[in-house]
Amino acid sequence: MAVYKIILFCSIVFAISFAQRPFYAGLRPIGYPEVEPNVITNKYGENADLPIEAKGDWNLIKRLSELPDDKKPFWLLNWRHYNDIRKNPQTYPQRPNVFVDGNTA
């Protein structure tokens, strides 16, 4: 009789613990979704720094770079400008806070 009570108690605890999360929510905890690493790489295993419009064609970028500036597509000029900004971002000096005084009494 005691064995039945233990089995009943364990099954009730088991049912209550699994009832806390619906079956369609999955078994892993809620948090950030699992994301696969970026698999788009060049043949040497490094990420290619190309604009999306080039679709991974480095020769296209080389050919378009030989054109005069007024004949280059806007997306290429825009991509180069944004790359320059990313490499050397503009920073501003921080102003001192008037509420925090360095002189403590």
Q: How far apart are CA 36 and CA 47, in angstroms?
A: 15
pLDDT for the residue 36: 62
pLDDT at 12: 93
The DSSP secondary-structure symbol of 24 reads G
Q: What pLDDT score was predicted for residue 96?
A: 80
pLDDT of residue 10: 92
Position 54 scores a pLDDT of: 78
pTM of the model: 0.43
Give pLDDT, residue 38. 57
Query: Which string of b and e fits 77-101 if b means at least 16 CB within 10 Å?
Result: eebeeeeeeeeeeeeeeeeeeeeee
CA pair distance 18, 15, nearest whole angstrom: 5
What is the predicted pLDDT for the residue at 11? 93
Q: Which residue carries 């619906």 as its tokens? A: 22
Ranges in the chain, pLDDT < 70:
23, 26-48, 101-105
